[in-house]
Amino acid sequence: MAVFILKRLGLALLVALTVSFISFSLLFLAGDPAVAIAGENATAVDIALINERFGFDRPMIVQYGDWLGSAITGDLGNSWYFDMSVTELIGDRLKITMKLGIYSITLALLVAIPLGVAAAANPNSLIDRFALFLSVVGQAIPSFWFGLILIVIFSINLGLVPASGNESWRNFVLPTVVLGYYATPAIMRLTRAGMMEVLSSDYIRTARAKGLGTGKVMFKHALRNAIIPVVSLAAVQMGFMLGGSIVVETVFALHGAGYLAWESISRNDLPTMQALILIFSTFYILFTFLADVLNAWLDPRLRVG
């Protein structure tokens, strides 16, 4: 197990290093950063002063090394638009996005896994058709449209929950439903497919022949094996929720890291964009690594190779 973890950790660090270089390169792929800071009406002298101040006149690999070294210590530079530390700026916003992501993936798992298990245990039944219908609708509805519909019904017409803000848990109810429902179909369908495959296995028929109860067969023997791909998918979905929450946060005016990403893009704040890409990618890599470790613990066969 230790060798498996070390191999996966080394691969994760290599991917993180590659992503860090790509995110740093965005500063130059977007054009001359000195011109972006100085503005369109800047003179050659202004641009030269900015190049000297920020070190843009140095070789790119040197700049990347300095930026990476600072990023490892927690220094992600200063925001061009907000004129403050990017680390401090993102730190305040990331708490909101993390809270939304945890709420959403928890809701998705609590709905998708039991529904997938029930659908697999009763194929072609009413609950199976309902689960598939819910899955199709969830994949077809745009998240921004679903969010607006929920605001109209539950905030404007019924007044049950706030439509925006992040002051209390009530502000997260509608965004959690929207983001959680977006992840539910994939998890539910994978759970259903995995359970149907496992339930047709010989060892499940043997367990039933021995007189084991339905609950013990379903949850102790079948679900343990069927849940392995679901763990990996949940990790991917969690990473997506953190990085892809920009639409939901914008609709509900949740001033989290996703909303900050939209602000940075619209205002050409490249240092903040760099840092957000790096942080979201790091979380994505971390969740994938943890999913690999958990799957290896659930199924020792995965540790080989």
- Among 52, 75, 98, residue at a domain's last position: 75
Written as one letter, the residue type at 295 is N
Contact of 144 with 247, CB cutoff 8 Å: yes
Give the pLDDT mean for 237-252. Answer: 78
The number of C-alpha atoms within 13 Å of 102 and in the hemisphere containing its C-beta is 7
pLDDT of residue 58: 74
Into how many domains does the chain fold?
A: 2
pLDDT of residue 39: 66
The region of weakest confidence among 84-88, 98-102, 297-301 is 297-301
Written as one letter, the residue type at 300 is P
pLDDT of residue 170: 86
Same domain, 156 and 70: no
Give the pLDDT mean for 236-245. Answer: 73
Classify residue 37: in a domain, yes or no.
yes
Confidence of residue 248 (pLDDT cuts 50, 70, 90): confident
pLDDT of residue 132: 86
Residue written as token pair 């708490």: 95
Confidence of residue 243 (pLDDT cuts 50, 70, 90): low
pLDDT tens, position by position, 259-297:
888 888 777 777 888 888 888 888 888 888 887 777 677
Using the predicted structure, report yes or no on whether residue 112 has a pLDDT greater than 80.
Answer: yes
Q: What is the mean pLDDT of the chain?
A: 79
Same domain, 60 and 124: no
pLDDT of residue 169: 84
DSSP string, 56-94: TTS-HHHHHHHHHHHHHTT---B-TTT-SBHHHHHHHHH
Same domain, 146 and 273: yes
Same domain, 217 and 283: yes
Same domain, 120 and 224: yes
Classify residue 12: in a domain, yes or no.
no
Q: Which residues contact 191 (CB under 8 A, 6 or more apart)?
A: 112, 113, 115, 116, 117, 120, 226, 227, 230
Give the pLDDT mean for 59-83. Answer: 80
The widest CA-to-CA distance across the chain, in whole angstroms, is 85
Q: What is the CA radius of gyration of the chain?
A: 24
Domain that holds residue 298: 90-303
